[in-house]
Structures are given as C-alpha cells and as structure tokens.
C-alpha cells in the first residue's frame, strides 16, 4: 500500500503567489479587532524566493527516474485562477520550469543510448512496435525529403524565446540507466476544453473564417484556421486510458521536444478576465512517452519481441483555475467556460473523496470517473498504475481567502488516500554489458586490421581486401586469335592461368592461416574479456552482497516501522472507538436519567391529578345526590299538597254548602311539617312541572353591576346567582358604575384537577377599574 499522492507542495511567488507547505497558516483580517486563522499540513513547503531547480529536485525528479525505469507518473498543478500554475509548469525566460527541466533530464540520461528515428513506431491502440532497419531507413528518407526551414549555416532555426526557456544548464541526469537498452521519446499535447478533448499538435487546414463560431459552439482561437475536431477516449488491452487519434511526435533532443510543446501552447485557449490577464480556459496535458527495448545477445540489434518492449509515460497537467463568477463578472462564453472548469474540478474532488471513503470504511463504492474527461483520462493513475504528485498553488491575497481554504482542504485530504502499486516487470534473461562488449570488439577488430594493412581512415574492408588481392595476380595477356596457325597465344594464356592458380592456392593458405590467427586472437581476447568479467563479477558480487545486506536491513527496519505505525494506528483507532463509545454511553445514561426524572414527575403529577379528580368526583356526586334527594322531597311535598287540596275541596263540597276558597299552605309550614314516608298515590296526570329556581341575592332591591367577562361560561345550575334589575357588562365601565352602588365580578379559572372553578367577587362601593 502506498499513498496516492506522494506529497502536496506549496510555493509562494512574489509575482504569481504560488505556494507548497508542510505546515501552512493562512489568516485574513475581517475587521479591526478579529482575525480568522486556519492550519493545514503538507509534505513540503516552498517560500516565495525558492528556485525552480529546488522545486524540480523535490517534485519532478523522482517521476523522471521512474519514467526511465519503466513506470508511469502524473504531475499536475492545482489552485485558484491567477495563482501561478502555468508559470510553475513552464517557467520564465532564463529560468525554466518543471516541463523543460524534465525534458532536459530525460535526454541527458538516454542521449548515448537513443535508437535511430522510426525504429520504434506507435500505433493507434496505445502500444509500440519495433521496425526493421529497412523500414526505418525508408521512413527516414521520406522525412529527410520534406522541406525544413534552415539557417544560413545549415542548422534548424530555433525560436529565441524557446532557447531561453530551455537554457537550464544543470545537466541533471539519472545515474542508473540500463545501458543495454535503446530508447525513443514521443510527445503529445492535448487540452480539455468545455469537457471536450482537442489535439493541440494536429495540423488544422488554413481557411478563411466567415462565421464567428464553428459547429461545436467553440470560439475560434486565432481567427485564421478552424480548430481540430474533439477526440475520444479509449481503453487499450492493458485497461489503460488513452486519447484515440492523438498526434504523437518522436523527438531526439530537448530543443525539439520543447519546440513541439510551444507550437501547441500557442493554440491553447486563454482569455482576459478580471482576475488574470492571460487566464487558462482549459486543462492542458503534455504527455511524454518513453519506449525502450533491449539489445540482442550480440549487443548490435534491437530485439523485436513485443513482450520485451516497455512503454512508460509521464503526464504533466496544467489545470485551469477555479473561479467564482461573481468575482470575474463572466458572461456568455466566459461563463460557460468557468462552469465547465469548476464542474471538472468538482468531479476530481468527488473521485478523491470516494477513494478516501472506500479506504477508510472498507466499502466498494463506485468512483465517478466518467463524469468528467479529466478524471476519466487519469483513471489508471488513481487506481494505482503510477505515481501521482500534486502541486498546490495558493495566492496569498485577501480576495482569494475562501477559494484558497477550499483548495488546501482538498489537497490535505488527498494525502490520506492509499492505493495498491503494481509489481515491477521482470528483467530479460540476457547478459548485461552487451553494448560495450560489442563496441570494444569492433574497436579491437579495426585496430588489428590496421596493423595488418587492413582498412585505414574508414575505408570499406571489402574494397581494400579486393584491391590487394587483384594486385597480387599477374595480368592476363591478349586472348585474340588472329591467325589459325598462331601457337604462342594459347601457351602464354595457359602459363598465366597456372601462375594465377598457384597464387590463388598460396593466398588461400595464407587466408586460412590468417583466419586461424584471428581465431586465436579472438580466443585470447575472449579469455581476457572473460577474466575481466570474472573480476568484475567478483567485485559486483561483493558489492551486491553488501547492498543486499543493507537492503535487507533497510527492509527489516521499514517493516518494523510499518508494523509500529500500524500498531499505533490501531491503538489510535481503538482509543477513538472507546472514547466514542464512552461519549455515547454517557449521553445515553444522561438521556435515560432525564427520562426517568420526567417519568417520575409525570407520575407524581398524574397521582395528584387523579387524587384531585377522585376528591372532586366524590364531592360532585355527593352534591348531586343531595340535590336529587332535595328535588325528590320537593316533588313529593308538591304531590302531597295537591292531594290534600283535592281532599279538602271534596270535603268542602260534601259537608259545606258554601264554596270557600282554600288557602294554599305556605312553604314555611310545608318545610316545618315532617315528611311522611307513606306510599304516595299515583301522580296526577295533569300536575304542573316543577321549575328549578336560581339562587337569588338577598340584596335584590339594590342596584348592581353584574360584570361577566366574555370568557365566562354559564354553569346552568341552581347555584348560579341571579340579580334582578342588574346592569350586565362584559368589560369594566365607569358609566355603569356611576349608576349603581354595588359591583359583582364572575371569574372563572381552571382548577388543579382540570375542572372549571367559578369565583364571585362583590364590592359595596364602586371601584375605579383600569
């Protein structure tokens, strides 16, 4: 397991404001008395005065070393618009950036071991083939026949601006380069604009432009040619993503490679915004592919076995800066460009966050690579097929504070993502040192031939041997027979031919002897070479043993460190889990305690309420029983009185002649009479109903003010007070109080048991009410 991003870096530049930090603190003043401060952690930090060489040594040099060893690499700059991403990648005249320094290091390392042009040939399926020498020679002849602009001295003309950019003068190179391999470098340059992929090296036809827009709704870049059509992404047989139909140019020097880059850079989409005078409106990707294959056993020709060919690539990505439209005041096409840029960067963040989530929680959530061409193109890097490094560019301006926080938060989070790295490819089984052994053999053979009168000053060997052989033979005489009796021509010819035959046999013997001498010399040379090889092998074996011991010790220490780190991580996670469980249990205990307290209080309240309700219900039923008994008694008394009256009337009719009006007994006398509990006769059918009378106030003859608020509810009981001739008001009125001398207020409220409690408040004198 290795980290996806090997380290994020920040560099603060005086003129661009780019920054990479190990521990960075950003602060901005909100008002006179308060400051906001945020802290982030990174692997490396570079200040404002850092040199481009130091930045290259830390960030890009390991990627170039991996490229030559056959591994892939991805380096991209990320930050807010105007923070100096393009400057960090390309540099300035006299001080080249990361891209020219990478090219210079590659060609300094493989310069003596480069294959001839067109020996390696890339196809449309992201693979490479090795051509035979004849096919490569034919293609070179076709290329040489094409017109190339030259200077009066005969050399290719180089743009002075390009010469200043690539004038690195560091001569940095990889120390351990496989000398038995041959190498070729191919470069391509694309851009992702509005989520479309365009080839910046494709030669577009020059045509006069009439409309202002093309069929793809894309603004024309220079106004004198139609931009190329968009490209599509494909997946090769090794499940690697590539741009189909992209122009790939074979280059043999740093100048040629950077010239190709500069030609594509002029076609890139840029625009003038309120935040940046030359703002990049697209993501540019400069791809460097390195094809390498081993030499055969003789160290002379390239092996044409396809499984022995290694194709590695280094992608240098200059991302477009994220920007807010309320700051740039973008409209129309600029607004559309900014939306696509922000959308692709948001997709990049989402992919990294999903990778981190899958790693942390052990899930297999699908990563949305296909939501953007940028993430879809580099899907293999995020899955582990190569090393990824990100340069975080930060502009230390107060206006970019919010955007810078988002950039650094994302960059810090990406350092926590880990992926599996593929194992290295096995080496071929050929003997190392074949190239230099073949060169030494050729040099020794040339030296021996010179000592024996062989080819000198680079003359062809076959021509010298043929001239020496012809000089040793006698010249042939004239062979024309002019007379039939001529007997001298044929004998002379026979004699010359015999001499030639003898000379041929002598030369054949000498040649055989020379061959034997040469074989002996070669055997002697092989013995010396073998002895030297044995010495070298012994020395190398000793060194390899020492290195192996050191590597074993380093691996042991690394494993121990990883084990300790793993244990520390497990302990930290365990402690975090225990603390979380403790907090959860404490919260659960507190919630349960509060619940129990609420339940106890509710229980006490319900008990009090139930007791009040029971008491109230008991009293209510007692009053109801008394009322019913009194009503029953009054009803029986009325019935008895009616019966008595009828009896009296009947007796009077029977006994007395005169009709006298019977007197009705008063209620006082009826109350004084005891109620006789006898069986009452059946009620009279036409008896009048008994009417309930309300309780009357004893001061009925006085003037009262009956104040009943609107919230008052009539109880409809006999205890309801009734004051005749009273002035009933709903609110306090001084006019009503002036007419009366007494005041009565009916107040109702909710008792503790939930029943309505009615209170009467009386006053003998009028009061000034508010």
Say which CATH number the domain at 749 has: 2.60.40.4330
- Binding-site positions for ATP read 79-86
Query: Does any domain span residue 434?
Result: no
Domain of residue 536, residue span: 488-677
Same domain, 409 and 520: no
Q: Do 496 and 465 belong to one domain?
A: no
Whether residues 232 and 331 fall in one domain: yes
660 in the same domain as 741: no
In this structure, the answer to whether residues 258 and 405 fall within a common structural domain is yes
What is the DSSP annotation of 394-432? ----GGGHHHHHHHHHHHHHHTT-EEPPPPPPPPPSSPT
Cα–Cα distance measured from residue 290 to residue 72, given in angstroms and rounded to the nearest whole number: 10
Residues 626 and 759 in one domain: no
Q: Are residues 409 and 455 in the same domain?
A: no
d(CA 485, CA 500): 26
Residue 477 within any structural domain of the chain = no
> Greatest CA span in the chain, whole angstroms?
225
Contact 343, 358 (CB under 8 A): no
Q: Is residue 768 part of a domain?
A: no
Residue 55 Ramachandran class (φ > 0 left, ψ -120 to 50 alpha, else beta): alpha
Backbone angles phi, psi at 422, to 5 degrees: -70, 155
Residue 243: which H helix or E strand, with range?
Answer: strand 241-243
**Residue 218: what pLDDT?**
46
Q: Which CATH number goes with the domain that contains 172? A: 3.40.850.10
* Residues in the annotated binding site: 79-86
Domain-embedded: residue 432: no
Residues 603 and 711 in one domain: no
Q: What is the mean pLDDT of each run of 10 residues along the chain (770 residues)?
A: 54 38 34 57 80 90 92 89 85 86 93 90 89 83 66 49 64 84 94 90 59 43 58 90 93 91 84 54 91 83 85 92 59 68 86 86 88 91 84 81 82 73 57 72 73 52 50 63 73 82 82 83 81 84 89 91 91 92 93 93 92 91 92 90 88 70 51 46 46 50 78 65 78 77 78 71 56
The number of beta carbons lying within 10 Å of the beta carbon of residue 631 is 13
602 with 740, same domain: the answer is no
601 and 672 housed in the same domain: yes
Query: Distance of CA 611 to CAs 107, 607, 616, 749, 754, Å?
Result: 100, 6, 8, 19, 12
Roughly how many angstroms between the first and final C-alpha of the chain, as a whole number?
84
Report whether 306 contacts 129 (CB < 8 A): yes
**pLDDT at residue 242 in the model:** 94
Looking at the fold, whether 169 and 246 belong to one and the same domain comes out as: yes
User: Residue 563 domain-assigned?
Assistant: yes
Closest CA to 115 of 304, 263, 244, 266: 304
pTM over 0.85: no
Rg value, the chain, Cα? 56
For residue 694, tell me if it sits in a domain. no
CB 382 within 8 A of CB 414: no
- 205 belongs to a structural domain: yes
Q: What is the DSSP string of 149-184?
A: -B-TTSSBP--HHHHHHT--------S---TTEEEE
605 and 741 share one domain: no
- The whole-number pLDDT of residue 567 equals 92
Task: Please report whether residue 769 resides in a domain.
Answer: no
How many domains does the structure of the chain reveal? 4
The closest alpha carbon to 280, from 230, 222, 321, belongs to 321
């Amino acid at each position: 397991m290795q980290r996806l991003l090997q380290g994020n870096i920040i560099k603060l530049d005086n003129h661009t404001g780019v920054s990479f930090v190990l521990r960075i603190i950003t602060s901005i003043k909100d008002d006179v008395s308060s400051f906001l401060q945020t802290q982030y952690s990174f692997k490396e930090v570079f200040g404002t005065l850092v040199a481009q060489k130091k930045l290259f040594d830390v960030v890009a040099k390991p990627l170039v070393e991996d490229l030559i060893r056959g591994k892939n690499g991805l380096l991209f700059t990320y930050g807010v618009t105007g923070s100096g991403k393009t400057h960090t990648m390309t540099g300035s005249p006299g001080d080249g950036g990361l891209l020219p320094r990478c090219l210079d290091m590659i060609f300094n390392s493989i310069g003596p071991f480069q294959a001839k042009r067109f020996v390696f040939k890339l196809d449309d399926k992201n693979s490479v083939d090795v051509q035979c020498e004849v096919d490569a020679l034919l293609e070179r002849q076709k290329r040489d026949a094409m017109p190339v602009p030259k200077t009066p001295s005969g050399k290719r003309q180089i743009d002075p601006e390009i010469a200043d950019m690539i004038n690195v003068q560091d001569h940095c190179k990889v120390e351990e380069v496989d000398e038995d391999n041959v190498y070729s470098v191919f470069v391509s340059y694309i851009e992702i604009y509005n989520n479309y992929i365009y080839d910046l090296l494709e030669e577009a036809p020059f045509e006069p432009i009439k409309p202002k827009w093309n069929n793809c709704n894309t603004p024309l870049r220079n106004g004198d040619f139609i931009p190329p059509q968009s490209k599509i992404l494909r997946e090769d047989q090794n499940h690697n993503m590539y741009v189909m139909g992209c122009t790939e140019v074979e280059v043999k020097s740093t100048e040629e490679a950077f010239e190709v880059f500069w030609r594509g850079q002029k076609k890139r989409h840029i625009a003038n915004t309120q935040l940046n005078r030359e703002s990049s409106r697209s993501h540019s990707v400069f791809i460097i592919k390195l094809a390498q294959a081993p030499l055969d056993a003789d160290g002379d020709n390239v092996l044409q076995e396809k499984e022995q060919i290694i194709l590695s690539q280094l992608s240098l990505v200059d991302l477009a800066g994220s920007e807010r439209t309320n700051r740039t005041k973008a409209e129309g096409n600029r607004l559309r460009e900014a939306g696509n840029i922000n959308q692709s960067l948001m997709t990049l963040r989402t992919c990294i966050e999903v990778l981190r989530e899958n790693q942390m929680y052990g899930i297999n959530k699908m990563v949305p690579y296909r939501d953007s061409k940028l993430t879809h193109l580099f899907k293999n890097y995020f899955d582990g097929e190569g090393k990824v490094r990100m340069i975080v560019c930060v502009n230390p301006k107060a206006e970019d504070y919010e955007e810078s926080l988002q950039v650094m938060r994302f960059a810090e989070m990406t350092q926590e993502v880990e992926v599996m790295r593929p194992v290295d490819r096995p080496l071929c089984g050929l003997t190392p040192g074949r190239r230099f052994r073949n060169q030494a053999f050729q040099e020794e053979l040339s030296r021996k031939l010179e000592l024996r009168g062989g080819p000198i000053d680079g003359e062809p060997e076959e021509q010298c041997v043929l001239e020496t052989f012809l000089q040793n033979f006698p010249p042939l005489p004239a062979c024309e027979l002019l007379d039939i009796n001529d007997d001298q021509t044929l004998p002379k010819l026979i004699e010359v031919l015999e001499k030639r035959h003898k000379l041929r046999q002598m030369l054949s013997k000498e040649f055989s002897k020379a061959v034997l001498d040469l074989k002996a010399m070669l055997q002697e040379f092989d013995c010396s070479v073998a002895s030297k090889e044995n010495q070298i092998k012994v020395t190398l074996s000793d060194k390899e043993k020492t290195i192996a011991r050191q590597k074993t010790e380093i691996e042991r220490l690394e494993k121990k460190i990883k084990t300790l780190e793993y244990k520390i991580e497990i302990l930290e996670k365990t402690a975090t889990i225990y603390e979380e469980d403790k907090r959860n249990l404490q919260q659960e205990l507190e919630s349960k305690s509060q619940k129990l307290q609420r339940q106890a209080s509710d229980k006490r309240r319900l008990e009090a309420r139930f007791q009040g309700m029971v008491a109230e219900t008991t009293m209510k039923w007692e009053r109801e029983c008394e009322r019913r008994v009194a009503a029953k008694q009054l009803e029986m008394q009325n019935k008895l009185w009616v019966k008595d009256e009828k009896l009296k009337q009947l007796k009077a009719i029977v006994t007395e002649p005169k009709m006298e009006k019977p007197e009705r007994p008063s209620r006082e006398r009826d109350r004084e009479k005891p109620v006789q509990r006898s069986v009452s006769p059946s009620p009279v059918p036409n008896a009048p109903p008994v009417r309930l009378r309300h309780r009357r106030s004893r001061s009925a003859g006085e003037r009262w003010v009956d104040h009943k608020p609107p919230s008052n509810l009539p109880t409809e009981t006999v205890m309801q007070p009734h004051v005749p001739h009273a002035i009933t008001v709903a609110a306090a009125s001084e006019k009503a109080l002036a007419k009366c001398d007494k005041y009565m207020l009916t107040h109702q409220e909710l008792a503790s048991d939930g029943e309505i409690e009615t209170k009467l408040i009386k006053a003998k004198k009028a009061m000034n009410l508010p």
